[in-house]
């Protein structure tokens, strides 16, 4: 069934939505994005995603096309128009089209940024059967640029990483730089050792996951010990548990790294507990 999507002020059937071939998102990957999950018709962690979007725009000197209140209204309208119960809203802002190709940024007074949103329906996404088995990851070099804290649409290497994982018979890849895990191709990475949750500290090296922030907050509230520091693949293989977080997977256990079982090779107690708390609390707070 055709979706209703949003393009620069208009709600349109997806077949009618158009963006210029000169749009800098298309030509230069000059754009940022957010993925906000929807559970039971409610937006999960919308405030966090809106704040990160504002930060990404600011870091790239890109104008916000609408206010954050308007953005919330557009999200809600799309969820309603597409009758989304469980799924996601994808949002992308690009520096727009100056009508030609040029490396220099166009004057934002003359060239407005573009705003596109669409929904993805994923009924029952909170009950993903993969959670029962856990996922496997391979390790790959992190060869991305140095501003991974900005959520840009430059996703070629993460896509390649997912293809490398698929070719190796795994579900995803963890990226490694200077011997330490940065993050997953589209998620943050964690290990658990002796009850302690370990995940890389925030910096320009990783995306500041909105799910990460919520999960660490819930973990601390539940008196779980959290250590924000880097870890290597060898340390991860030797951990009791491993997991990832993102808006699309919530908390997902990782049971195998480069073919080696993590802990007992089954989803860990801490990961499953955090998933339960995250889903409960986020659904309650959904808007």
Residue of the chain from 4, 97, 119, 188 that contacts ligand PDD (CB under 6 A): 188
CB of 110 to ligand PDD, least distance (A): 31
Specify the residue for token string 């949003």: 6
Residue of the chain from 44, 207, 219, 236 that contacts ligand PDD (CB under 6 A): 207
Residue of the chain from 113, 119, 136, 187 that contacts ligand PDD (CB under 6 A): 187
DSSP secondary structure string, 209-269? Answer: -HHHHHHHHHHHHTT-EEEE----HHHHHTSSEEEEEETTTEEEEEEEETTEEPTTSS--H
If the CB atoms of residues 97 and 187 are measured against ligand PDD, the closer one turns out to be 187
Please indicate whether residue 151 is annotated as part of the active site: yes
Query: x/- string (CB under 6 A) for ligand PDD, residues 11-40?
Result: ------------------------x-----
Q: Confirm if 43 and 86 have CB atoms less than 8 A apart.
A: no
Residue of the chain from 136, 211, 230, 282 that contacts ligand PDD (CB under 6 A): 211
Does position 4 interact with ligand PDD (CB under 6 A)? The reply is no
Q: How far apart are CA 35 and CA 25, in angstroms?
A: 17
Residue of the chain from 25, 65, 209, 263 that contacts ligand PDD (CB under 6 A): 209
Does position 275 interact with ligand PDD (CB under 6 A)? The reply is no
Q: How far apart are CA 59 and CA 51, in angstroms?
A: 12
Stretch that binds ligand PDD, among 10-18, 116-124, 181-189, 226-234 (CB under 6 A): 181-189
If the CB atoms of residues 59 and 238 are measured against ligand PDD, the closer one turns out to be 59
Does position 210 interact with ligand PDD (CB under 6 A)? The reply is yes
Burial zone of 151 (CB within 10 Å; 0-12 exposed, 13-18 middle, 19+ buried): buried
Q: How far apart are CA 180 and CA 175, in angstroms?
A: 8
Does position 199 interact with ligand PDD (CB under 6 A)? The reply is no
CB of 158 to ligand PDD, least distance (A): 6
Query: x/- string (CB under 6 A) for ligand PDD, residues 231-260?
Result: --------------xxxx------------
Q: How far apart are CA 59 and CA 53, in angstroms?
A: 10
β 225-228/196-199 pair status: parallel
Specify the residue for token string 């959670």: 131
Binding-site size for ligand PDD (CB under 6 A) equals: 14
Which one is catalytic: 151, 162, 237, 256? 151
Q: Confirm if 165 and 138 have CB atoms less than 8 A apart.
A: yes
Q: How far apart are CA 216 and CA 214, in angstroms?
A: 6
User: In degrees to the nearest 10, what's the CA dihedral of 70, 72, 77, 83?
Assistant: 170
Phi and psi (nearest 5°) for 26? -70, -45
Both tokens assigned to 198:
């370990």
CB of 89 to ligand PDD, least distance (A): 11
Residues that bind ligand PDD in the complex, under the rule CB under 6 A: 35, 183, 186-188, 207, 209-212, 245-248
Question: Where in the sequence numbering do the catalytic residues fall?
Answer: 151
């Amino acid at each position: 069934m055709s979706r209703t999507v949003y393009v620069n002020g208009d709600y349109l059937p997806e077949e009618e939505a158009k963006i210029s071939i000169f749009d800098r998102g298309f030509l230069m990957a000059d754009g940022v994005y957010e993925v906000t999950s929807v559970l039971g018709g409610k937006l999960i962690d919308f405030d966090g995603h809106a704040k990160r979007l504002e930060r990404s725009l600011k870091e790239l000197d890109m104008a916000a096309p609408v206010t954050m209140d308007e953005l919330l209204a557009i999200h809600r309208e799309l969820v309603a128009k597409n009758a989304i119960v469980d799924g996601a809203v994808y949002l992308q802002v690009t520096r727009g089209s100056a009508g030609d190709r040029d490396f220099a940024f166009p004057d934002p007074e003359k060239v407005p940024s573009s705003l596109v949103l669409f929904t993805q329906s994923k009924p029952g996404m909170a009950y993903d059967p993969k959670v029962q088995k856990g996922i496997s990851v391979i390790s790959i070099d992190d060869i991305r640029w140095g501003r991974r804290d900005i959520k840009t649409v430059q996703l070629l290497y993460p896509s390649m990483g997912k293809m490398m994982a698929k070719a190796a018979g795994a579900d995803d890849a963890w990226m490694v730089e200077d011997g330490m895990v940065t993050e997953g191709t589209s998620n943050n990475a964690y290990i658990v050792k002796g009850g302690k949750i370990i995940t890389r500290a925030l910096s320009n090296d990783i995306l500041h996951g909105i799910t990460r922030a919520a999960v660490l907050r819930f973990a601390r509230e539940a008196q779980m010990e959290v250590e924000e520091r880097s870890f290597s693949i060898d340390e991860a293989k030797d951990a009791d548990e491993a997991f990832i977080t993102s808006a699309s997977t919530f908390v997902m256990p990782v049971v195998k790294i480069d073919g080696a079982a993590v802990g007992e090779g089954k989803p860990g107690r801490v990961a499953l507990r955090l998933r339960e708390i995250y889903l409960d609390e986020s659904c309650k707070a959904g808007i």
